[in-house]
Structure 1
Amino acid sequence: MNRFLPISRADMEERGWETLDFVFVSGDAYVDHPSFGPAILCRLLEKHGYKVGIIPQPDWHSTRDFARLGRPRLAFLVSAGNMDSQLNQFTAAKKRRHEDAYSPGGEGGHRPARATIVYANRLRELYPKVPIIIGGIEASLRRFAHYDYWSDEVRRSILVDSMADLLVYGMGERALLEIAADLHQGVAVENIQDVAGTCFRVPGFDYVYDYLKLPSFAAVCAEKRAFAEAFRTAYLEQDPIRGRRLAQQNDEWCVVQNPPAKPLTETEMDEVYDLPYQRTYHPIYEKAGGVPAIKEVQFSLVSQRGCFGGCNFCAIISHEGRIIQRRSHASILREARLLTQLPGFKGYIHDVGGPTANFRRTSCDAQLVRGTCRGKPCLSPEPCAHLVADHSDYLQLLRELRALPGVKKVFVRSGIRFDYLLLAKDDFLEELCAHHVSGQLKIAPEHISDRVTRLMGKSNRAVYLEFVRRFRRVNEKLGKKQYLVPYFMSSHPGAELSDAIELAEFLRDMGYHPQQVQDFIPTPGTLSTCMWYTGLHPLTGEPVYSAKRPEEKRMQRALMQYWLPRNHAIVRRALRLAHREDLIGYGAHALVPPAECETAHRPRVRTVAAGKRRECPRSGHGEKKRKRR
C-alpha cells in the first residue's frame, strides 16, 4: 500500500475509505517530511484517529481540483504553504520569481497570489456549508489588518478576505487537535471560540468579552500612528501565559484573537517528530525532477522551536514565539539513526538546530511560569541580566550524534547567535570549530552601524568584532583554516546612505566580499515592517527613516558589493550624493575607481578578482596590476 497520505480517490479506495474527516489544501507540492507544516499537521491528525487527505497545489482556475477528494466529514484545512505566497512569487524589487523550491522541478507558477484567500474562496464556492480553517505562515502573519508591501496598501484581516470560519496561527498542532475534537463531538464551527492560538470573526464587539480593543481597519488605513498603536498592542500580547484576547473591527466583521497556544512539552514535541513520515516528496513528482526544497532538509534534524533573539525583521516571535520548545535527546537520536538508513545518506548530518541553532533552553528559568517579559528583549541590543547562556545540553546532543554508527560528520548550518555564544562560559565555540563547521560558518550580523543594529534588534559592531577575534583565535589554536560567512542586509528601516557607506568601508577593511545581498523586504507581521510603513518605532514612538525610493535602495545594495564592476557607476553616484568623493580613486581606502579612467580603457579591462586593487594606466597607482586580455 502507498504509505503517503491520500491525494486521489484511488488512494482513498486503496485504504477502503469512502469519506475523509479532513482535506488539507496546500500551496506547496506534497513533501512528507517534518520540515513541512502540512505534513506535520496531517500526520498528527492521522495519529489521533482522523482520516486525512491532501490536495497539493490545486489548479485554482476552476473548482475541479478542489472536489478531487470529495466533501470531508469535518472540515477543509487551507494553507498557502511554507512561505507567504506573495514573498514566494515576488522579490524585494517586486519582480516575479521564476523559480519555486516548493514546486515540482523548482518551477514557478503553480500557486496563485494570495493563495490562502483564493483556495478558501474556491472551496466556499464548491461547498458553502463545510467549515474552512486557514493556517500556515501566510494566515498567521496576516491575522489582523496588515501592511502589504506588494500592493502598497493596508489590507483587512485574511480571515475576513478568505471568509474562512477559523484561523489557526502559530505552529498549530495543539489548536488543531482541540478544534478537531470539538468538530468530532458535533460542536458547530461558529461556536468554537475559546481555543488558544486561533482567531474567529463575529459581527461586533458585543459578541466578545474580556479583550483589548485594537484600532479598527478603517483607523489604521487612515492614520499611520493608529497602525503603529495596533501593532504595538498585538506585539506585546504575543505570549501564551500572560497574553490577552484582542479584537479589531475589519469593516463588517470583528476579528478576535485568542491568546497564543501553550508551548509544546518535550513529550509532545517528540510525538510530532516521531510520526511516520516518508521523508521525501510524493512519487508523482519524480518525472519533474522532484521538489528542490527537500534537498536542504532531508538529512537535517530539527532539535527545537522558537527564538528569543529578538530580530525585529523576523516573524518568528509572531509564529513560533519566544519560548524555546525542544525535543528529547532520545527522539533526536532515533531520527538520526533513521537518517542513516535512508537512500542517499553518505554519513553527513547537514544540520542540527532550529530558528537559532544554539538556543536549546529558555532564555531564563521563569518564562514557563510567568511568560516572557512584556516589551523587554532577552538578548539584544543588550542582554537581560536574567539571561542564562548555556550550551551544555546542545554540546552533549552533538557529541551523542557524532558517536552514532554510520555518522561521519555532524554539521551546524542553521543560524548561530554569536552574541549569545560570547556570553556562555563553556567550550562551545572550540567544539563547534573542531567538529561541526565545514570550512565556513554562516552568521548574521546584518549591519554594523550601531543606529541600524539597534533598530534591527541586533548586537552592535563591537560584539561582532569580538566574535571574529574569538573565532580566529580558536581556529589558530586548532590548526584549522576556517572562515566566517557573514550576512548583511540593505535598506533596513533606519539605514541611511551614510550607514550603507559605513558598512561598505567595514567590508573593505575586513576583506569581505559578499556574494549574496539581502534587501530588506517588509513582510507582514514584523516590527521592522511597521517601522518601514509608518515611519515610527511602534514600541518607542521615535521617528524612523526608511529608504523607499528605488534609486536609494539600489545604492544601498550596490555599496555592499562595491567591488563588482557593474556596481561602480551607482556606487559613485551614492558617494557623490553623500559627499564622500574621498572614496573614489585608487588609494588603499578607495571603494571604486574614477569614471573617466574606467570608461577610457574599458575595452582592454576584464573582471578583476574580488579584493584586488585596480591600477590606473595613466598614474600607475594601485597595489595590484590589472589583468589584460
Structure 2
Amino acid sequence: MFLPTTRKELDDRGIDRLDVILVTGDTYIDSPFMGASLIGRVLESKGFTVGIIAQPDTDNDRDISRLGEPRLFWGITGGAVDSMVANYTASKKWRKRDDYTPGGENTRRPDRAVIVYTNLVRRFFKPTVPIVLGGIEASLRRIAHYDFWSNKIRRSILFDSKADYILFGMAHAGIVELARVLDKRPETMPADTQDPVTQIPGLGYIAKTPKGITLPAYEAVIKDKDLYIQSFKTFYDNTDPMHARPLSQAHADRFLVLNPPAHFSTTKEMDEIHDLNFQRNVHPYYRALGHVQAMDTIRFSIPTHYGCYGECNFCAITVHQGRTVRWRSKNSIIAEAKKMTRDKDFKGYIFDLGGPTANMYGFECEKKLKKGACTHRRCLFPTPCPSLSPDHGPQMDLLNEISRLAGVKKVFLNSGIRHDLILMDKQKGQAYLKQVTAEHVSGQMKLAPEHCAPGVLALMGKPGMDSLVAFKHQFDSICKTLNKKQYLTYYLIAAHPGCTVREMNELKAFTQNELHITPEQVQIFTPTPSTFSTLMYYTGIDPFAMVPVFVEKDPRAKERQKQIVTRKTKRRAPTPPRQNRNQDKVSRQGKKLRRRKK
C-alpha cells in the first residue's frame, strides 16, 4: 500500500487529518532511493500518519490543499536533486528532460523548489503548523552559500524560505524525534523554558542569540571573500557528528543556529529502514500521467550503504551523507533481493547493488568509527591513509549469495568504483576485480578519474594517474584471459578551477595515448552549493594553500575546454617515409633495366 496522496485514499483508510504532509519536487516513487518516500515510511513505521504531495501546481491550491492541513508539520524537499541542477545545465541552459517527472518533460519542478513550495503552503494556510525543510537542496544551502545561478552569496535557505526548521543530512532519526517532540509539546511554553525541538541533533533553526561557534555573519561574507573562506572551512570542519560543535551565523539581527549533525545510523537501524514495505513503483495517481524514466534504473536496484570517504572537492556527499561509510547487513540486503524476485515485472536482473561508491561496502577505518573523521588529513588524498584497510571480502560474499538466489540471473554494479581502493587491497583486491569483471559488469565498468593534470587533480582532491594506468592494465589483462570484450568508462570534468586549455590538451593526449579512447562522458564543472570546488570558483583562491587559482567563467570557453577532449581526430592513411619512396623508385628503375637486358 502506498502512502496516501489523494483525499479518497484518506477516506478509504478512515483518516480525517494526517500527522505529517510531505511535499516533494519529484513525482511520488515509493522507493528507498527517494528521500521523501523513505522519510514518509520511517514516520509511518513509528505510528504517524503521513501523506505525500508530489510536484504540486504552484499557481493555485488544487494540489497543495487536497490533503488538508497536517496536525504536526509540513515537510518540504526539492527532490533527489537540487532543483537548479535539475533545471539547468552547467552552461545555464534549460534542461528539457526530467527523469523524475511523469512523461519526462521538465515542466513540473520550479526553480528553487524548496522556497517556492514553502511560500505555497504559507499562501494557502495562514497560519499553519511548522514547516520543516529537508533533502539535498535544503541540506547544502543551510548556511550562507554561493549560488552559481544568481552569481552571488545567498542567505541560509531558512531565511530565504521563511520556514521554521531544517533537518539536514539523511535525517532518519531526527524526523522521528521532531514528530515526537511536536506531538507532546504544549501549544504555549513559559518564556524561560528551553524548547525541546532546538535540542534535536541535525536540526537548524532561527534564534535571537547565538550558540556554539559563531561564523562570520552573512553581511560580512558577501563583502569579504577571505571571511567567506573562513566561514566555509569552519562549517566543513564541523560536519562530523563525533566532534562537531553547534554553529551560529548572524543574518541581520537574528541567528541561524545549526546543531551538531545527527549520529550516523547503525547497521540495525539501516536494516529496519530498508525492511519497510516499499512498493518500488510510481503511485498510480502519478503513473497515469506518463512513464517515469528514473524507474528504469532504481526499481530493481538495491542500496547497500551510505556515505563516502573519497571527499572529492567537487562532491557534496560529505556535507550531506557524511564521510563515514555505514552499511546494511548481508541478511537485510539478501531479504530485499528475495522480495524483488517475487515482483511480477522482475526479469532476473538487479541493475545495481551499491551506494555513492560501490566498493566501499562493509569496511571503514576503525579509528574513525571510534573517534570520528580526522581533521588533519583525508582517507584517500593525497595518498591513502595506512589506517584504512580495504577489504572487498564482504561485498564479494554478498554478490555471490545474491547471484545464487532463485530467479536472479545477473547482479550488476553500476554505482562506479574507486580503482585505487582495489589496488590498496593486497589480499582480495585482485580476486574482487576478477569476480566483478567476469560476473557483474554489463560491458562497461565506470571509473571517475575526472582529469589527469596533477595541479587540477590536487584541487579536485583526486589521486594521480599512476593508479589508473595500473588498474587499466589489470582490467585489460583479466578481460583478455576471460575472452570478454569489456571496457572502462571514464567520467571527466572540464573547466574545474585551476583548469586551462593547456590542462585540457594534456587530458586529450592522455586519453588518446594511455587510455586509447575519445571520451564521451565529459561534463563541464557545475558549482553546486557547499563544496570546496565551488568555494574556489567563487573566490578564485585555493582555500588550502590560500593562493590565487585560475577559474574559467566564460561559458563559451568552458565549452571549448570540453570540446578539446571530446572531438574526434580524423585518422589519415600513413604516408610512406621519403626513404621508402626513393627505395621504390630505385626498385622500379632496376626492373626496367632487367627487362631491357632480356
Same fold (TM over 0.5): yes
Within-5 A mapping of 1:501-540: 501-509=505-513, 510-540=515-545
Report whether the alignment pairs 1:435 with 2:439.
yes
Within-5 A mapping of 1:167-178: 167-178=166-177
Distance in 2, matches of 1:336 and 1:389, equals: 25
- For 1:67, what is the secondary structure of its paired residue? coil
Report whether the alignment pairs 1:19 with 2:24.
no
Kept in 2, the 8 Å contact 1:131–1:164? The answer is yes
The root-mean-square deviation of aligned C-alpha atoms, in Å, is: 1.7
Kept in 1, the 8 Å contact 2:327–2:362? The answer is yes
Kept in 2, the 8 Å contact 1:323–1:362? The answer is no
Kept in 1, the 8 Å contact 2:144–2:218? The answer is yes
Distance in 1, matches of 2:32 and 2:62, equals: 29
AA aligned to 2:547 is E
After TM superposition, give the deviation of residue 226 of structure 1 in Å: 1.1
Distance in 1, matches of 2:548 and 2:314, equals: 17
Kept in 2, the 8 Å contact 1:148–1:523? The answer is yes
Residue 306 (structure 2) aligns with: 305
Cα deviation digits, residues 563-606 of structure 1 (max 9, x gap):
1xxxxxxxxxxxxxxxxxxxxxxxxxxx5xxxxxxxxxxxxxxx
Cα gap change, 1:375 to 1:539, in 2 (>3 Å): farther
Cα deviation digits, residues 4-34 of structure 1 (max 9, x gap):
1111111100000111000111111111011
Percent identity between matched residues is 43
Residue 361 (structure 2) aligns with: 360
Residue 482 (structure 2) aligns with: 478
Residue 456 (structure 2) aligns with: 452
After TM superposition, give the deviation of residue 367 of structure 1 in Å: 1.5
Cα deviation digits, residues 219-276 of structure 1 (max 9, x gap):
1110111111111000111101111111111223310111111011111001111111
Residue 144 (structure 1) aligns with: 143
Cα deviation digits, residues 50-71 of structure 1 (max 9, x gap):
0111111111123342221111
Distance in 1, matches of 2:198 and 2:246, equals: 11
Kept in 2, the 8 Å contact 1:381–1:453? The answer is no
Distance in 2, matches of 1:50 and 1:287, equals: 28
- For 2:547, what is the secondary structure of its paired residue? coil
Residue 33 (structure 1) aligns with: 31
Distance in 2, matches of 1:104 and 1:408, equals: 29
Cα deviation digits, residues 73-126 of structure 1 (max 9, x gap):
101010111110111101101011111111111111202111101111121233
Cα gap change, 1:162 to 1:191, in 2 (>3 Å): farther
Cα deviation digits, residues 307-332 of structure 1 (max 9, x gap):
00111111100010011111011110
Distance in 2, matches of 1:337 and 1:187, equals: 45
Residue 594 (structure 2) aligns with: none
Distance in 2, matches of 1:65 and 1:406, equals: 41
Cα deviation digits, residues 450-473 of structure 1 (max 9, x gap):
111111111111111111111112
AA aligned to 2:14 is G
Report whether the alignment pairs 1:226 with 2:227.
yes
Distance in 1, matches of 2:7 and 2:365, equals: 50
Distance in 1, matches of 2:138 and 2:376, equals: 24
Residue 294 (structure 1) aligns with: 295
Distance in 1, matches of 2:266 and 2:174, equals: 14
Residue 496 (structure 1) aligns with: 500
Report whether the alignment pairs 1:374 with 2:382.
no
Distance in 1, matches of 2:217 and 2:272, equals: 40
Equivalent in 39, 61, 75 of residue 73 of structure 2: 75
Cα gap change, 1:375 to 1:155, in 2 (>3 Å): farther
Cα gap change, 1:616 to 1:437, in 2 (>3 Å): closer
After TM superposition, give the deviation of residue 348 of structure 1 in Å: 1.1
Distance in 2, matches of 1:286 and 1:51, equals: 23
Report whether the alignment pairs 1:216 with 2:217.
yes
Cα gap change, 1:347 to 1:145, in 2 (>3 Å): same
Distance in 1, matches of 2:219 and 2:15, equals: 47
Kept in 1, the 8 Å contact 2:447–2:490? The answer is yes
Kept in 2, the 8 Å contact 1:160–1:253? The answer is no
Within-5 A mapping of 1:24-423: 24-127=22-125, 128-186=127-185, 191-205=196-210, 208=211, 211-423=212-424
- For 2:448, what is the secondary structure of its paired residue? strand
Kept in 1, the 8 Å contact 2:357–2:418? The answer is yes
- For 2:449, what is the secondary structure of its paired residue? strand
- For 2:377, what is the secondary structure of its paired residue? coil
Distance in 1, matches of 2:288 and 2:161, equals: 34
Distance in 2, matches of 1:377 and 1:75, equals: 39
After TM superposition, give the deviation of residue 191 of structure 1 in Å: 4.9
After TM superposition, give the deviation of residue 187 of structure 1 in Å: 5.2
After TM superposition, give the deviation of residue 615 of structure 1 in Å: 5.9
Cα deviation digits, residues 458-495 of structure 1 (max 9, x gap):
11111111111111122223232211111111011111
Residue 575 (structure 1) aligns with: none
Residue 583 (structure 1) aligns with: none
Distance in 2, matches of 1:188 and 1:613, equals: 76
Distance in 2, matches of 1:148 and 1:11, equals: 40
Distance in 1, matches of 2:522 and 2:477, equals: 28
Distance in 1, matches of 2:15 and 2:399, equals: 43
Residue 583 (structure 2) aligns with: none
AA aligned to 1:149 is F
Kept in 1, the 8 Å contact 2:363–2:390? The answer is no
- For 1:105, what is the secondary structure of its paired residue? coil
Kept in 1, the 8 Å contact 2:491–2:522? The answer is yes
Gaps of 5+ in 2: 189-194, 579-598
- For 2:222, what is the secondary structure of its paired residue? helix
AA aligned to 2:135 is G
Gaps of 5+ in 1: 564-590, 592-611, 621-629
Distance in 1, matches of 2:320 and 2:377, equals: 18
